[in-house]
A and B are shown apart, each in its own frame.
Chain A
Amino acid sequence: MTLTFQSVRVATEYDEEGMLVFNGNRRLVAVLTRLSEQNEIAPGQWFLEAGFGRLGGISHPTFANLETAQVWINQRLVHQN
């Protein structure tokens, strides 16, 4: 599935730089935020701040870059568990 990304500012009060992720039908499936370089957990990585539908579970992984985020999101959207 072709995902599209759209930059957004997210009011997390910590890491504002974000990305809306839309599925092939232009429906919002996830909000990612980029953790700051000072983050103690995963500096500079992308964090699944919120997911919807099949991504709306309890899993909130971090990704080294948007490509790996895209792969993970696609897998989740294809394989319902």
Chain B
Amino acid sequence: MTVRPSASHNLMIRKLESIVSLSDEEKQALRGLPIQVTSLKTDSDIVRVGDRPSHSFLLVEGFTCVYKLTAEGNRQIVAFHVPGDMPDLHSLHLKVMDTSMATVTPCTVGFIQHEALIQICDRYPRISAAFWRETLVDASIFREWMTGIGRREAYNRMAHLLCEFQVRLSAVGLAEDDTFDLPITQTELADAIGASNVHVNRILQELRANGLIRTSGTQVNVPDWQKLKEAGDFDPLYLHLRQD
């Protein structure tokens, strides 16, 4: 799979512009960032707990997850990332990884050296602020998930997660007509919402039976957005998308 570097840059800019406004000069500077694009298979670790990465990655294609393993070997997925995201951008300042990140589908990722990121941040304070904002939104997503895992029913958590995917994928042009591709296994969904995969399977059947989603292969269609939002207790405020 080859992706022209410019496509990666444009995706990064599109994502950043969903949360901040950028000037032409700032966009030009971002287009000058050296990005090393590579393809990864499903279930590849990109960074692991304890790593000291010298680069951060831009997710160009596919889905990745952030996870932790318990002593017993149980996995908790604490976030998913979609194209345009820079999941380990915080490793620019937090030198040792405290979570692992892995692909959940075949992925294209672009590695950007920390040195280059530091230089662009030094020269363009608003880009620095945009990156900061990106990591703050990640933290906001963690808080939202924590609330769900602690206090929402599994059925509502799943509806919430589907709403989140719809909004985040739409922000980078990857959802159309309330339909998006979600090539994530039920086991991964279970590890994300903190339920067994048997429960997740029942929940998906229930969501379908209640007319909240239609699925065809990995495609998810949301016929009634309002109903799914209500089922998920979903308010997109925590994603901090630009309003203007």
Contacts and interface: CB of A to CB of B under 8 A. Distances in A.
Contacts of A35: 198
Interface of A: 12-14, 35, 39-42, 47, 58-60, 62, 81
Interface in B198-238: 198-199, 201-202, 205
B197 interface: yes
Interface of B: 72, 74, 186, 194, 196-199, 201-202, 205
A62 B198 contact: yes
A40 B201 contact: yes
A74 to B, nearest CB: 18
A41 B194 contact: no
Nearest to B199: A60
B196 A60 contact: yes
Nearest to B206: A13
Contacts of B202: 12-14
Contact of B194 (A39, A58, A81): A58
A14 to B, nearest CB: 5
Give 6 nearest A-B pairs by CB, closest first: A60-B196, A41-B201, A41-B197, A14-B202, A47-B198, A41-B198
Given A14-B205, A58-B194, A40 B199 contact: no
A16 to B, nearest CB: 13
Given A40-B186, A41-B186, A60 B194 contact: no
A60 B72 CA distance: 14
B125 to A, nearest CB: 45
